[in-house]
Amino acid sequence: NAGVTQTPKFRILKIGQSMTLQCAQDMNHNYMYWYRQDPGMGLKLIYYSVGAGITDKGEVPNGYNVSRSTTEDFPLRLELAAPSQTSVYFCASSYGEGREQYFGPGTRLTVT
Amino acid sequence: GQQLNQSPQSMFIQEGEDVSMNCTSSSIFNTWLWYKQEPGEGPVLLIALYKAGELTSNGRLTAQFGITRKDSFLNISASIPSDVGIYFCAGRWQAGTALIFGKGTTLSVSS
């Protein structure tokens, strides 16, 4: 199993541009999550999904959107990139609520 | 909202020393997880704890779910250079809520 995969690894955006961060998992997990990690801070939850077709906001959802059309994929969309969205983004999945989460390798995004 | 206090913030130790770090919460938690993150990588799960008082080992790592359910501890015995990284605790205080992460303990090991 590849586990949780994320693309791209790195990206530089100009203010106002949009992009989609891709996330896929091959563990047949129902639950998937998007986090952002800023220097010296823990992980902040952006959005999560409990199954295909179901998504919900986390702690810091403003400026982001998600969709979950399949069990495997959970893309994160930035519509109008802002410097405050410069961060490292991690996708994670788990097989049940409250169970251990498995993380992807991350996407480092810079908005200038 | 719920918060986790993780300490120490950083540690500088010699190879072979034992390490101890902990997380405390303001509320009772029902899940504690410990992760390690190396530079440029995602967090990797080390140990998962689901019952108060539970003590679980993974090689040289041992973690405990505090009996009060408001804290958890991670110990690393006989540290080696590859233990270097950031260690995060994460916890959940009730069903239907998201995991909360501590800010991490940065471990440096000198040989």
State which residue of chain A sits closest to B33, comparing Cα positions: A100
Task: Enumerate the residues of chain A whose CB falls inside 8 A of the CB of residue B87.
Answer: none
Query: What is the structure's pLDDT at B95?
Result: 72
Task: Enumerate the residues of chain B whose CB falls inside 8 A of the CB of residue A93.
Answer: none
Condensed to tens digits (0 to 9), the pLDDT of residues B58-111 reads 999 999 999 999 999 999 999 999 999 999 999 998 777 788 999 999 999 998
A39 contacts B39 by C-beta, under 8 angstroms: no
Condensed to tens digits (0 to 9), the pLDDT of residues B18-53 reads 999 999 998 899 999 999 999 989 999 999 999 999
Whole-number CA gyration radius for chain A: 13
Condensed to tens digits (0 to 9), the pLDDT of residues B1-11 reads 677 999 999 99
Cα A11 to Cα A17, A41, A57, A60, distances in angstroms = 12, 21, 24, 21
**Confidence band for A42, pLDDT divided at 50, 70 and 90:** confident
Length of chain B: 111
B48 touches chain A (CB under 8 A): yes
A42–B104: do the CB atoms touch at under 8 Å? yes
Nearest to B48 among A41, A43, A100 (CB): A100
Query: What is the structure's pLDDT at B3?
Result: 79
Instruction: Please tell me the distance in Å from A88's CA to the nearest CA on chain B.
Output: 9
Condensed to tens digits (0 to 9), the pLDDT of residues A76-91 reads 999 999 999 999 999 9
Cα B82 to Cα A23, B51, B58, B63, B105, distances in angstroms = 28, 29, 15, 19, 15
Helix (H) or strand (E) holding B101: strand B100-101
A105–B101: do the CB atoms touch at under 8 Å? no
State which residue of chain B sits closest to A58, comparing Cα positions: B98
Helix (H) or strand (E) holding B108: strand B105-110
Contacts 24+ apart (CB under 8 A), B65-68: B65/B32, B68/B28
Helix (H) or strand (E) holding A102: strand A102-103
Cα B64 to Cα B13, B22, B26, B52, distances in angstroms = 22, 9, 17, 8
Q: Rounded to an integer, what distance in angstroms lies between the CA atom of residue A2 and that of residue A106?
A: 14
Query: What is the structure's pLDDT at B54?
Result: 96
Average pLDDT of the residues of chain A:
95
Q: What is the residue whose two structure tokens read 């994160």?
A: A76
Q: What is the residue whose two structure tokens read 């059309």?
A: A69
Query: What is the structure's pLDDT at B1?
Result: 64
Share of chain A above pLDDT 70, in %: 100
Pull the structure tokens for residue A105: 């390798």
Lowest mean pLDDT among A32-36, A40-44, B38-42, B57-61: A40-44
Query: What is the structure's pLDDT at B84?
Result: 97
A101–B104: do the CB atoms touch at under 8 Å? no
B43–A43: do the CB atoms touch at under 8 Å? yes
